[in-house]
Structure 1
Amino acid sequence: MSADLVPDDLWERIASLLPARPPRRHRYPGRLPADDRAALRGIVYVLRKGVSWRDVPTEQIGCSGVTAWRRLRDWTEAGVWWPRLHEVLLAELRKEGLLEMDDAAIDASHVRALKGGGHAGPSPVDRARPGSKHHLITDRHGTPLAVTLTSGNRHDVTQLMPLLDAVPPVRGLRGRPCGRPCRVFADRGYDFDKYRRLIRARGITPKIARRGNPHGSGLGKTRWVAERTFAWLHQFKRLRIRYEVRADLHLALLQLACSLICLRRLRTSF
């Protein structure tokens, strides 16, 4: 089981991004630190299974859940997951011709925040219980390009421009890196003329459904990929309900899940 959690191709991409450990003391060096790959197995185990950190099986994983949580905290603060790992995977996808950024889709999804914390607020779709929102932008195939986290009572459109700004410059081919889609597709929740003007000012064509018009605009044939990507993200059980009090750690797990989806697409392309 532990070998399947962190396969070689994932570890090879992450190992070079991890920060260097401080040198050990010569006198009273203490216990040897846990292996980084074992700590990553613990993080992925929690992400996939949705268990609490104290329930991580130490014998199978190779380190305790507390150690895995500490490495997640340290690596998040070092920027390992975002943008470094995600940029590496997006560049590989573009090199293989698997990334089509001309069309991008934007959507949001609610999750319950059981313990509250930062970026948690009364959710309008869950009887005002504490909740958070995952905001996502994908390419034409549903590949995650950027994600953000807000409280459950924030409007979807408030993250439209931050999501466009969060898309990293994607390398992988000779020439200028690609970092801006040509068209953006969104549902009626983003129907504001102010944001249409802001999008056009960046040289992007907005394809946003109009409120009050009957269904059948045809935008769903392009925008549905964002909803499918949310279904992929919710296969990681830790993301279905937010348990982390610290918003940055929940966002880190969300970003790691996006990177795993990108890696899965690279594997299935061969």
Structure 2
Amino acid sequence: MARRKPWDVDDELWTVVEPLLPKIERRTRHPGRKRHPDRLVFQGILFVLHTGIAWEHLPQELGFGSGMTCWRRLAEWTEAGVWPRLHEALLAKLRSADALDFSAGAVDGSHIRALPRGPKTGRSPVDRGRTGSKHHLITDATGIPLAVTLTGGNRNDVTQLIPLLQAVPPVRGKRGRPRRRPDVVLGDRGYDHEKYRRLVRALGVKPLIARRGTEHGSGLGTQRWVVERAFAHLHWFRRLRIRWEIRDDIHEAFLTLGCALICWRRLSQPTRSLALSQ
């Protein structure tokens, strides 16, 4: 039996994705060329995300359509807000399956090289001033991505602490009010600032952040490692290791899609994870 490729879209995933895609009615007069099937184009987008291949080198023999077709469809679906809604839908499924743990959340940032200049790029202080961007991520207690943001490589992690907490969507999946934020947020010394601690508390979240000037071994490393693991999973998608896109919304689309796919893997292959609260 042939092994399923990571960019293959099974029926279960497609039943989640398809209702979120905008419906394009074909014109009766002068209909033009028939639109390439959405499912195949989505697989082409996943192929680029997984392999990091340039759009123009997308293999035609795989049936995904041309690289330009896949890029245009990605831009169209990004403008329609498909990817955040897909991520939110999968988070709701995880919560329904009791696979989300809001007892704590972990935040961190990760530098990537940005070869083309564009919005949300900057001179990276950790890469000898080269142009770069930063991925900022917040996860639940088990390392499931809750939200992700993109900034220039010269932005401090602490500036994204509040935007990350505010970016967590209302997660449904259970009766009652949806969950918006974890009970506690864990961060390393890069988030040590009293102003931001007050802002976090104002959102109803308890900050648990390592302090600068203290010895290593605060104990948070035994709890917040899940966000570092989540970054490893996110950057397993080769398209996210280096920013090739000038348009920030296209790179953010890949970022959010990567988070959604991590959620889907957790749903389809449930594993026991160590909770931060333990």
Deviates more, 1:184-193 or 1:8-17: 8-17
What residue in structure 2 maps to residue 36 of structure 1?
A: 38
- Corresponding residue of 1:9: 12
Partner in structure 2 of residue 247 of structure 1: 248
Aligned partners of 1:39 and 1:63 also within 8 Å: yes
> Residues 112-151 of structure 1: matches in 2 within 5 Å?
112-151=113-152
- Give the TM-score, by structure 1 length: 0.96
Q: Structure 2 CA distance, aligned partners of 1:182 and 1:32?
A: 50
Q: Deviations over 1:15-62 (max 9, x none)?
A: 000001033242x32211111011101100000000000011112133
Equivalents in 1 of 2:61, 2:184: separation in Å? 50
| Conserved 8 A contact 1:2-1:60 | no
CA RMSD, aligned part only?
Answer: 1.3
Partner of 2:22: 19
CA contact (8 A) 1:41 1:61 kept: no
Task: Work out the number of aligned pairs and report it.
Answer: 268
Does the 8 A contact of 1:43 with 1:69 survive in 2?
A: yes
CA distance in 1, matches of 2:202, 2:19: 38
Structure 2 counterpart of 1:99: 100
Q: Report how far residue 187 of structure 1 moved.
A: 0.3
In structure 1, what is the equivalent of residue 62 of structure 2? 60
Q: Secondary structure at the match of 2:233?
A: helix
2:20 aligns to what SS in structure 1?
coil
Amino acid at match of 1:63: G
In structure 1, the residue matched to 2:190 is 189
Query: Quick one: distance in 1 between partners of 2:208 and 2:111?
Result: 23
SS at match of 1:251: helix
1:4 to 1:202, Cα distance in 2 relative to 1, 3 A: closer
Tell me which amino acid in the other structure corresponds to 1:9. Answer: E
Moved over 6 A (4+): none
CA apart distance, 1:203: 1.7
Percent of pairs with identical residues: 58
Distance 1:63 1:227, change over 3 A: same
Q: Provide the rounded CA distance (Å) in 1 between the counterparts of 2:45 and 2:91.
A: 22
Contact 1:118 1:247 in 2 (8 A): yes
The amino acid that maps onto 1:98 is A
Which runs of structure 2 are paired with 1:55-94 in the superposition (5 Å)?
Answer: 55-82=57-84, 84-94=85-95
Matched AA of 1:22: E
Gaps of 5+ in 2: 272-278
- In structure 2, give the amino acid aligned to 1:91: A
Counterpart-to-counterpart distance in 1, 2:8 and 2:15: 14
